[in-house]
Amino acid sequence: MDLSKVIRPNILALAPYSCARDEFKGEASVYIDANESPYENGVNRYPDPLQHSVKALLAPLKGVREEQIFLGNGSDEAIDLIYRIFCEPRIDNVVAISPSYGMYKVCADVNDVAYRPVSLTDDFQLDASALAAQVDERTKVIWICSPNNPSGNAFQLSELEFIVQHFPDQIIVVDEAYIDFSDKGSMLSILDQYENLIVLQTFSKAWGQAAIRCGIAYAQPPIIQYFNRVKYPYNINFLTQQAAVQALSHREVHDRHVEEILSGREILRILLGSLKTVEHIYPSDANFLLVRMKLDGMDAGQSADYVYHYLQNKGIIVRNRTRVHLCQGCLRITVGTPEENATLYETLKTL
Ligand SMILES: Cc1ncc(COP(=O)(O)O)c(C=O)c1O
């Protein structure tokens, strides 16, 4: 892929901000180059702008090289940067599967980039020819989320790879926020083969670190270099870097929690499936279930609204997705602790 054809001309020409720590690398005894406070309190120095300590742990874990990693203030920063790097406002467009994660459209609107949703099939499968019909010479990015939010299903790697191959002139973003809950495999296994692929992951889900705001974009080094040029110099603060290192150093906690959530998902699926108010539970490769409700005397939408408010009154908050494309009647329910799952079940039983 000729990156100069997909990157915005102003970004190609950008002279990035050069911070004090870019100029000098190494150890010194006196640091008076960055107008910091000299009084040590643990946070008086600017953090590492390229977060080497986090990437050094993440790279071997994920089987990638450090220069294939960008860290953002949540995946949401990476999503926004993708628009700012590739999409010329009011000229370029992006194509995205629908339904999917809401921030792809919000960031398109913020950046004044046309957003072209392409419906999944009724059972939330990809329709490559429908995608192709929306792609034109001004399409810069194709957004795919796998496992997809809110449907919960992951797509086959072969299907995703077909799309990456079939659209060599577009950037294909595969958002894998929920990948640790899926057994379908990650696109990172083929990252080295494709220059037009960006894979997003996050510390917010399986790593249990939503509050630290740390998302990850993986791509080949030329794309990562553009992320680094456009980002704020110190986009990942020191406390976040520390927490990410801590989490990565305790992989057994991550693995145990993933195991527990996977068994919780299965138990919740069986429990909810036994309720007569639950019409359908979609297959999930994520840490949530999309559940279609149906109450006697109500249509699907009314049923979802009713159950949503009923649960809310009992202090249980789920996500009402009934107004989302293809999700009529559906609630999105995150797998909680075994106790939380049981509370949900008992509460729904008394409906
Ligand atoms: C598909 C998907 N991507 C990204 C995110 C946000 O991730 P982060 O917390 O890293 O911004 C979410 C959060 O719900 C999500 O569902």
If pLDDT is split at 50, 70 and 90, which confidence band does 96 have? very high
For a pLDDT cut of 90, what percent of the chain falls above it? 96
Domain boundary among 224, 249, 274: 249
125: domain CATH number? 3.40.640.10
Closest among 286, 252, 255, 272 to 343, alpha carbons compared: 272
Q: How far apart are CA 247 and CA 203, in angstroms?
A: 9
Please indicate, yes or no, whether residues 100 and 242 belong to a single structural domain of this protein.
yes
**pTM of the model as a whole:** 0.97
**Residue 15, pLDDT score:** 87
106 touches 134 (CB < 8 A):
no
How many domains, in total, are found in the chain?
A: 2
If pLDDT is split at 50, 70 and 90, which confidence band does 16 have? confident
Ligand 1 probe mutation, 71, 79, 103, most atoms within 8 A of CB: 103
284 CB-near residues (< 8 Å, 6+ apart): 147, 152, 153, 181, 265, 269, 290
Mean pLDDT of 55-74: 98
Ligand 1 probe mutation, 204, 214, 288, most atoms within 8 A of CB: 204
Mean pLDDT of 266-285: 98
Please indicate, yes or no, whether residues 217 and 270 belong to a single structural domain of this protein.
no
**Residue 21, pLDDT score:** 72
* Residue whose entry in the numeric block shows the structure tokens 């976040």: 240
Q: How far apart are CA 346 and CA 117, in angstroms?
A: 38
Is the pLDDT assigned to residue 127 strictly greater than 90?
yes
- Residue with CA closest to ligand 1 atom 3: 177
User: Within a 10 A sphere around the Cβ of 199, how many other Cβ atoms?
Assistant: 25
Is the pLDDT assigned to residue 26 strictly greater than 90?
no
Cα Rg, the chain, nearest whole Å:
22
212 lines ligand 1 (CB under 6 A): no
Residue 182, domain extent = 3-249
Domain boundary among 249, 282, 316: 249
Please indicate, yes or no, whether residues 139 and 182 belong to a single structural domain of this protein.
yes
Please indicate, yes or no, whether residues 227 and 314 belong to a single structural domain of this protein.
no
Please indicate, yes or no, whether residues 155 and 117 belong to a single structural domain of this protein.
yes
Domain boundary among 223, 249, 275: 249
**Residue 24, pLDDT score:** 77
Query: What pLDDT digit, counting tens, does each position of 189-216 carry?
Result: 999 999 999 999 999 999 999 999 999 9
Cα torsion 51, 56, 59, 65: sign: positive
Cα torsion 89, 92, 96, 99: sign: positive
**Cα 247 to averaged position of ligand 1 atoms, centre (Å):** 18
**Cα 350 to averaged position of ligand 1 atoms, centre (Å):** 33
Query: What pLDDT digit, counting tens, does each position of 170-194 carry?
Result: 999 999 999 999 999 999 999 999 9
76 lines ligand 1 (CB under 6 A): yes
Please indicate, yes or no, whether residues 157 and 40 belong to a single structural domain of this protein.
yes
175 lines ligand 1 (CB under 6 A): yes
Query: What pLDDT digit, counting tens, does each position of 137-171 carry?
Result: 999 999 999 999 999 999 999 999 999 999 999 99
215 lines ligand 1 (CB under 6 A): yes
Please indicate, yes or no, whether residues 226 and 89 belong to a single structural domain of this protein.
yes
Round the average pLDDT of the chain to a whole number and report it: 97
- Neighbouring-strand partners of residue 70: 217
- Helix, strand, coil shares, percent, the chain, to 5: 40, 15, 40
Ligand 1 probe mutation, 148, 153, 205, most atoms within 8 A of CB: 205
